[in-house]
Each structure stands twice: as structure tokens, then as C-alpha cells.
A and B are shown apart, each in its own frame.
Chain A
């Protein structure tokens, strides 16, 4: 409500013990933008995007891509930033509390639970994957996989490292756990520092490093020479042509439009609850419009200019177009961990370049890992009035314990990614678009987006947010349901059912915590 005011200043919140606690704040706008961009820029920018473009019409893919960016990406980014800042006025740093303020209905906070459930569940496998990037960076620098020059050989190395088989490279999961614990510890250390002294300081170091490493790799890839005996297709221009040459006939295929919309939705990391959490640490009149647009533009630069140039181009130069199509069809791990590890070994200073490539992926992963851990920390810290250090320790312990199935059972990672990292994400994105545009109300939403704005937000965004964004997201969700939901519901081994049970238990656990936290909050009925 416009008349609603929190029971203490916007800088504080009331703990369950009734004491007034100071909320963290961002120190600088640049720091917030870099933290939000760090959240958005992930492995998908460098591995998923070029494959999606190549498989969906090449350069023609960019037409629905940019349209989706204008109709879904940027409007939803602004809406999430506005929702987060609004909830922050009431001391809420998680979507359960924020949604309860947007829509004072008993069910709203349980819809908001998705914004804590999704990032926490994804963290169970995303932090391990991030740790693999760190491990492979070390393996490249130290020459541990030197001489493994076929995809099968590198594949065996990766499988042994992951503990799926024992061979000459690794026995057991010792190395896997070493790098996982190191990555988790780094993540928790950054979070313990808080918003300005932890996340913001880290983002100010990691993002420039990430862009610097990526630019080094782009320059190296654009100056690649074909290997000895290469075919006429194995050139840099052929690689760029593989990604960018347009096949305009595919614009008539609705799947291409859905792929573009899905890619935009996933790449800017809307629908996670993280942007709400980060922007909740803003003051009530701080800008969100320029912040949101800057975040999107940095993410798109990383995706289109840098991500669209490195991996696929290098793969075409070294393996040719037919083999690259096969690698892309094999998924992001085939491209990122196998193909790139082989390619860099063929170059002068290959260990160094390979190490830089995996370090780049590690920085992209760690900035996102920090972001997906923060909503759960915010729930415990603000909902139960405990110190940040204790909240971080509790979440860390939960991540350490609950990530065991993802590390030990085959298929669990994909199962968590399917339900939490894809389906729940689309569901939550659609729900928040409806709540913001129709329940909170587009007029109030518009005032929230434009209040304190450092740029003029075009008036067309208002009807787009009310009508176009929910319809577009609803179409993606329906397309996903019809296309992908049938198979996974069929019979599955016990590990998969275990993963489903784990997700259900996490959701119920978080919902129970939200119920208690919001009931205890004196601002509940403000």
C-alpha cells in the first residue's frame, strides 16, 4: 500500500526478538550493477547462447532474441528491481516477504517461496559445477590433462574426476570434494562479508577480471590459424558464419521464437528471486531503471559479443562444422569441458590459455553462486533475527549436506536442473509477471519503476508489462509443459525419485520457515 510504512526506518528491520537490526546497503551504484551482472553472467553466456543461435537460424535468431529482450527481458528486469526495492522498505530481502507486501493474501508468500527454493536448489548443483571449472583451471595450469587430445580421453578424465569411474587419472572423489569445499568456502566467505563489504567488493574485482579474461580469449580466437591438414571450412570466418549466417526460413518456426524467448529469460536471470533480493538493499528512492538496463546491457555484451565469439568459433576452426554440430548437440559440458580443453592444448601457451578459459568460467560461476545463496541467507537472517555469520553458516551446512545426492547419484543434477532450474523458474516468472501487472497493479508498479529513475523509462513499457510480458511468458511455459513434461513423469530409477523427494522436502521446509518468519515479524500486518 502507498500509505504503508515499515515500523522502523528503511535501514532497519525488526528481528523475531523485537529488536531493531540494521539492514545492509549497497555502497555504490556501480557495485550493485556489477553484482547483478555477475549474477546474470554465467556459464550459459559462454556455452549455451552460441549453441542456441547456431541451432536456431544463426543470425536470424537475433531477430526474435532482441524482440524478446525488449518484450520480456528488460521489462521484467525493471519489474523485479522495483519489487525488490519495494519489499526492502519493509525489511524483506526474500521474495516470500516481498510478495506478501505486493499482494496481502495468504497464498502470496508461498508463491514467493519459489524465489528462495529455486536459487537454493540450483545451488546444490551449480556450486559443484563451478568447482569443476576451478579444478579444470588448475588442471590446465598444472598440465594434469596434457596429452589427452581426443574427446573420449578428456571425457574419461572428467568422469574419473567426478567419481563416476576409477581410472589412471583419479581414484575416488578426493579431488572432487577438495575443489567443491574450496569453492563453497569462498562463496560463504564472500557472503559473510555482507552486501557492501562482501558481495559488492567481490563483484568489483570479479567482473572486471571476467571481462578481461574474456577479451584476451576473444582476441586469441579471432587470430587462430587452422591446424595442419584442416579442411576449407575450418577458419575463423567459417566459425563466425556458423553462428551468424542467417537462415531466414526458420523465422516461420514458432520453436525458434520460443528458444529465443527462453534464452533471453534464462540469460538475464529473471524469475530466480535474486534480483528482488539484491535490490531490496536499496533505499526507497534509489534508481532501479538505469540499474536494471545497465545489468541487461552488460550481460548481453558478455553473451553476444564475447560468448558468441569464443567457444563455437574455436571449435569450428579445430574440429570443423560437422563435428561442432555434434559437440553442440552433446550439450554445454561437451563444448566447455571437453572440446575447449583439447583446443587450447593445440596452441602455444595452451596450458595458460586453457587455465584462463576455465578461470573465466569459474568467475562467471562464482558470481552467480554467491547470488543464488543470498536469498536463503536473507530469509534466515531477517526472518529469524540471527546474525549474518550464523545465517551464512547454517545455509553453508545445508548446502554441504544436501548437495551429496547431486555429487554421488547419477542423473540427480539433471533432475534438479529440470524441475528447479527450468520448470519452477518459468512458473515463477509467469506468476510474478501476473502479480506485478495485475494484482499489485500496473499503475503502482509503474510508479515504483519510475520513482528515482536516472533515465526516462518509455511509456510503452507499461502496457508491455501488463499484457505482452505475461502472455509471452505464459506461452513459453505452456510450450515447455507440452514439449518436455511428459517424459520425465514416466518411470524413473530410485535416485531420480530421491531427487524429487529432496526438492519437495526443501520446498516444504522453506515454506514452513517462511510461515514462522512472517508470522513473527511485527511488520506482518502493517
Chain B
């Protein structure tokens, strides 16, 4: 059976994957902005 449209299960997996990854990116961006840069001192 060929898919004719995005089925509810497909929507659920697409949206949950996108939300998961976007959430991870936002978490990392926030923590990177709060963190220190690599040390430059000897």
C-alpha cells in the first residue's frame, strides 16, 4: 500500500522528532551562551 498523505502516525513521529531535536538545540544554545569560552591562559 502506497502512502497517499501524511497519516496521523506519521504526523506524530514527524512532530515529536522535530520537537525533540529543536528542544535539544535550544537547550544547548542556552547552556553555551551561559558557559565560558575555551581557556586562553597558559
Closest 9 CB pairs of A and B: A59-B13, A245-B10, A294-B28, A244-B10, A241-B3, A283-B39, A241-B6, A454-B35, A297-B24
**Chain B residues whose CB sits within 8 angstroms of the CB of A237 once the complex forms:** 5-6
Query: B10, A27: Cβ atoms under 8 Å?
Result: no
Residues of B in contact, count (CB < 8 Å): 32
**A356 to B22, alpha carbons, bound, how many Å?**
24
**Chain A residues whose CB sits within 8 angstroms of the CB of B24 once the complex forms:** 293, 297, 300
Confirm or deny: A240 has a beta carbon within 8 angstroms of a beta carbon on chain B. Answer: yes
Flag B4-42 by CB within 8 Å of A: 1 or 0 each. Answer: 111101111110011011101101110110111111101
A interface residues, Cβ below 8 angstroms from B: 9-11, 25-30, 32-33, 58-60, 62, 66, 232-233, 235, 237-238, 240-242, 244-246, 282-283, 285-287, 290, 293-294, 297-298, 300-301, 304-305, 321-322, 454-455
Kindly report which residue of chain A lies nearest to residue B16, judged by CB atoms.
Answer: A62
**A60 to B9, alpha carbons, bound, how many Å?**
9
In the complex, which of the residues A32, A285, A300 contacts B39, with contact meaning CB atoms closer than 8 Å?
A: A285
Query: B25, A241: Cβ atoms under 8 Å?
Result: no
**Chain B residues whose CB sits within 8 angstroms of the CB of A298 once the complex forms:** 25, 28
Q: Give A30 Cβ to nearest chain B Cβ, in Å.
A: 6
**Chain A residues whose CB sits within 8 angstroms of the CB of B42 once the complex forms:** 9-11
Query: A454, B25: Cβ atoms under 8 Å?
Result: no
Query: B38, A240: Cβ atoms under 8 Å?
Result: no
Kindly report which residue of chain A lies nearest to residue B40, judged by CB atoms.
Answer: A25
A-B CB contact pairs (8 Å), 18 listed: A25-B38, A27-B37, A29-B35, A59-B17, A62-B13, A238-B4, A241-B5, A241-B7, A244-B10, A245-B6, A245-B10, A282-B38, A286-B38, A297-B27, A298-B28, A300-B21, A300-B24, A301-B25
Beyond A244-B11, A283-B38, 16 additional contacts (C-beta under 8 Å) are A29-B36, A33-B32, A59-B17, A238-B6, A240-B6, A241-B4, A244-B14, A245-B9, A283-B39, A285-B39, A290-B32, A294-B31, A297-B28, A300-B24, A305-B21, A321-B3
